[in-house]
A and B are shown apart, each in its own frame.
Chain A
Amino acid sequence: MSENGKPVRQAQDKPKLAMYWGAGCGGCEIAVLNIAEKILIVDEVFDIAFFPCIADFKVKDVEGYPDGYIDLCLFDGAIRNSENEEMAQLLRRKSKVLVAFGSCAYEGCIPGLSNLTSKEATLRTVYLDNPTIDNPDGILPQPFYDVPEGTLEIPVFYNTVKSLDQVVDVDYYLPGCPPEPHQIWAVLQVVVAALTQGAALPPSGSIIGAGEVAVCQECSLKKDEKVIERFYRPYEIIPDPTVCLLEQGLMCLGPATRSGCGALCPQVGMGCRGCYGPLAGVEDQGAKMLTAVASVLDVGKPGDDEAELERQLDAAIETIVDPAGTFYRFSMSHSLLRRAKVNGN
């Protein structure tokens, strides 16, 4: 018995849950906590086997588990250094079901924008060039460094930010930056039913905890199939809060993005940036968005010659600032592009 008189939980009887972060921000962990009081049900159903954000287990504990010991492992964060990859391999081995949890693990997310630049430029900016840097000797962090007491080691960073499935086999993908709590809870219920009642799990490789249509189809803003002549920056106009933002000339990735979030951003007057990833059956979210942009842009008037039309179209396209960083805001690592060629990398 524990001190407050409740029976001590039978650790060996419950399914084992792990949650680990690669190169992520911790927002996925916060999103799990945001299932609120249902976290107590998770505590009832599972035993936590590894969850560095909130529980004191160390890597050596995981190494000591038999293979397949963890029933469900939620892996968030991208793969960008040797430690992330080693942990992904360790947790793959120790887990029956491995979920790429959130946009980073699924498709690289914001950190994947690093694939648009080079390691040299990053090192220069971070350690040598910034306005507050005091580094006259040009010191850079080193994977192995001898201090008087011994050698200190830090992980080796990769050139390219990778998604989880680019380093290990992944059973399921749960999109979103971060996934919305109601979707997390829906997925946990499916897994719990499978583990405790023998219900069927979705087919391996499925995208879970998301819809099958575009964000536009769950967005309440009014669409009139209106076309536009140019795009505006978000601060250049005050949009009608009841009308489709794209049809008012504000960039919105709703047409190219999988539903599941409830179209949250457009409801507060800000365009979607695509964090739920590409539509079902679409490999490249950015290419799909280009198509959507083409269908909403309409320039010229009857009688304009071809050269004039081309000039006007170019001018309209010019009003889309930073297309690569916008159309691939979340999906760079997993896109056909994967990374830009910079300095021969």
Chain B
Amino acid sequence: MTTKRITIDPITRLEGHGKIEIFLDEAGEVENAYFQIPELRGFEQFCVGRPAEEMPRITNRICGVCPEAHHMAATKALDALYGVEPSSAAKKVREMFYSAFYVTDHTVHFYALGAPDFVLGPTAPAAERNILGVIHKVGTEIGLQVINCRKRNHHVIQMLGGRGVHPVAGMPGGWSQAVTEEMRQEIEGYARENVEFALFSLQLFADVVLANQEYVDLILSDAFTHRTYYMGTVDENNCVNFYDGLIRVVDPDGREFIKYPAQDYAQHIAERVEPWTYLKFPYLKEVGWKGFVDGKDSGVYCTTPLSRLNAADGMATPQAQAAFEKFYETLGSEKVNGRYQPIHHRLATHWARLVELLYAAERMLELVQDPEITDPNVRVTVNTTPTEGIGSVEAPRGTLTHHYQTDENGILTKVNLIVGTTNNYAPIAMSVKKAAQGLIHNGTVITEGLLNTIEMAFRNYDPCMSCATHSLPGQMPLEVVIRDAAGNEVERLRQFV
């Protein structure tokens, strides 16, 4: 029997809504914890009837934090839908745009959402535990660096994509406008600053977090550790790629489990529905759903910066590769068959995010120096008959898949979306429960700082509930479950449409 309930509502510093319910037993120990998503939106349904080519401009409204990811997944789904291969220049413009987005998105997460826990400490007063508190602590100069990093990259996003938030330039087979030499020169300067900023951020992490034994112990603690499968998109050399490649899944021991093109996603991923939350739980079909548990026999997988590093063999740019090696060596991973063993400590995700920040910055610099980047051949006319298209990218929060079916006029008849954060729903729920179990014991006073430490369990995933809650059902009827003393279900009364 439960004697006490603790509710954290709303969960702050994640993008969207969320609620955690923790149930204690009579002894004051955690009996169970539920991470509920109280909101859904109707994109998969209300996009039906819309012209497919509008999807890059409609689905970016799934999430204002990562509209570029939905814009790009939708644009790539349109390539597949119309069977048109973009020119090499168009692909490079898209990837350069996408790299600028990664730099700003990973920067926002690290400094505004993740850093308050480390720079100020998890038990700092609530009023100071935010980005402005971080600036007050580390100084306005660093704060301005963060602000300027966001500013120049959103400017690049607007230059290339048309708008700073909710871009518009993605089209089937290309991009609506080419890059001029004047734009190229301006962007090259920003890309150089991005590389410097990423290196600075990695140094800051080393100084503030890695140099503090208390934080290192917290990162390595069992309370924040889970052994799951990991997913990420890789290039032909099995290096991390955000824009394109094959989707690779490794098992908890670091062995490749599957590698597949995006259009095969439905053969490998299934989504489970639970009655106590509006969000679905994706899992690996070949392994099966075994509940909220760790290990090789459970189909739970994870798609975060840490997951992408674990799923890949390395980084495609030199300084990011060096940062990748330092990450695994420092955290005690050993190489088996030429690959580092996966790191399962979830709080290391913050560090992995900075390794990816450096890769995005270096990749942006490579692309802006590519002679082809100013090729005007980026927009094409399309006259094929559409039927079905699937596109995916790595959103910052995980593999993002858009799947469209249309009539012969390109009007959508079916839409399925598996978004970054949704992939991570089961691992987040598990992390929240485990952190609660590790930190709340009989006699422990429930202080606000303790609850924030539990929130840290999910915050490292950078969950974006705006993304995850892309469906909106209407009003829903009540369901009553009657259980006997042993908790067994004896009757279920359901009143449904």
Contact = CB atoms under 8 A, between A and B. Distances in A.
Interface stretch (B28-36, B238-246, B305-313, B361-369): B28-36
A78 to B, nearest CB: 10
Interface in A57-73: 57-59
A54 B269 CA distance: 33
B466 A24 contact: yes
A264 B167 CA distance: 10
Interface in A24-50: 24-31, 33-34, 36-37, 39-40, 43, 48
Given A26-B63, A120-B497, A152-B34, A159 B10 contact: no
Interface in B136-161: 136-137, 139-140, 143-144, 147-148, 150-151, 154, 158, 161
B161 A135 contact: no
Interface string B347-383: 0000000000000000000000000000000011111
A126 B418 contact: no
| Max chain B Cβ within 10 angstroms of own Cβ: one of A26, A118, A157 | A26
- Most chain A CB within 10 A, of B137, B265, B472, B494, is at B472
B443 interface: no
B87 interface: no
Interface string B24-53: 000000011010111111101111111101
Interface residues of B, number: 124
B289 interface: yes
Nearest to A3: B137
Interface centre among A109, A126, A177 (most CB of B within 10 A): A126
Interface string A126-146: 110011111100011111111
Contacts of B62: 25
A26 B466 contact: yes
A109 B41 CA distance: 13
B47 to A, nearest CB: 8
Contact of A123 (B34, B162, B171, B474): B474
Nearest to B22: A149
A322 B411 contact: yes
B130 A55 contact: yes
A15 to B, nearest CB: 16
B473 A119 contact: yes
B398 interface: no
Interface stretch (B187-195, B196-204, B271-279, B331-339): B271-279
Nearest to A125: B45
Interface stretch (A93-101, A215-223, A228-236, A291-299): A228-236
Given A30-B64, A178-B166, A147 B34 contact: yes
Contacts of B276: 141-142, 145, 147, 152, 154
A6 interface: yes
B266 A131 contact: yes
Contacts of B481: 145-146
B172 interface: yes
A238 B381 contact: yes
A194 interface: no
B290 interface: no
B77 to A, nearest CB: 14
Interface in B428-472: 452, 464, 466, 471-472
A180 to B, nearest CB: 8
Contact of B289 (A6, A53, A134): A134
B258 to A, nearest CB: 15
A149 B2 contact: yes
B427 to A, nearest CB: 18
B302 interface: no
Contacts of A265: 162-163, 168
Contact of A143 (B140, B151, B271, B478): B478
Which bucket holds chain A's interface residue count? Answer: 35 or more
Interface in B263-293: 265-266, 269-278, 280, 282, 289
Interface stretch (A203-211, A266-274, A282-290): A266-274
A237 interface: yes
A139 B474 contact: no
A121 interface: yes
B395 to A, nearest CB: 14
Nearest to B161: A268
A27 B67 contact: yes
Interface in A68-94: 80-81, 83
B126 A267 contact: no
A43 B112 CA distance: 14
A130 B61 contact: no
A34 B131 CA distance: 14
Interface string B297-328: 00000000000000000000000000000000
A111 interface: yes
A117 B42 contact: yes
A132 B269 contact: yes
B82 A235 contact: yes
A109 B64 CA distance: 13
A164 interface: no
Nearest to A80: B472
B88 interface: no
Nearest to B66: A26
Interface string A146-163: 111110101111110100
Contacts of A270: 57, 162, 168-169, 176
Contacts of A238: 379-381
A152 B276 CA distance: 6
B301 to A, nearest CB: 14
Contacts of A57: 12, 126-127
Nearest to A177: B166
B249 to A, nearest CB: 15
B409 interface: yes
Contacts of B82: 235
A133 B272 CA distance: 6
A233 B52 CA distance: 10
Interface of A: 2-4, 6, 11, 21, 23-31, 33-34, 36-37, 39-40, 43, 48, 51-59, 80-81, 83, 109-111, 113-114, 116-123, 125-127, 130-135, 139-150, 152, 154-159, 161, 177-178, 180-181, 233-238, 241, 264-265, 267-270, 273, 275, 321-322, 325-326, 329, 345
8 closest Cβ pairs, A-B complex: A119-B474, A27-B64, A149-B23, A268-B162, A142-B479, A25-B64, A110-B61, A126-B471
Interface of B: 2, 5, 8-10, 12-13, 15-17, 19, 21, 23, 31-32, 34, 36-42, 44-51, 53-54, 57-58, 61-65, 67, 82, 108, 112-113, 116, 126-127, 129-132, 135-137, 139-140, 143-144, 147-148, 150-151, 154, 158, 161-166, 168-169, 171-173, 176-177, 265-266, 269-278, 280, 282, 289, 379-383, 403, 409-411, 414, 416, 418, 452, 464, 466, 471-481, 483, 487, 494, 496-497
Given A119-B474, A270-B162, 20 more contacts: A25-B61, A25-B65, A27-B165, A48-B132, A52-B10, A54-B131, A120-B497, A125-B45, A126-B45, A126-B473, A130-B416, A131-B414, A134-B273, A142-B479, A144-B479, A177-B61, A234-B53, A235-B171, A265-B163, A322-B54
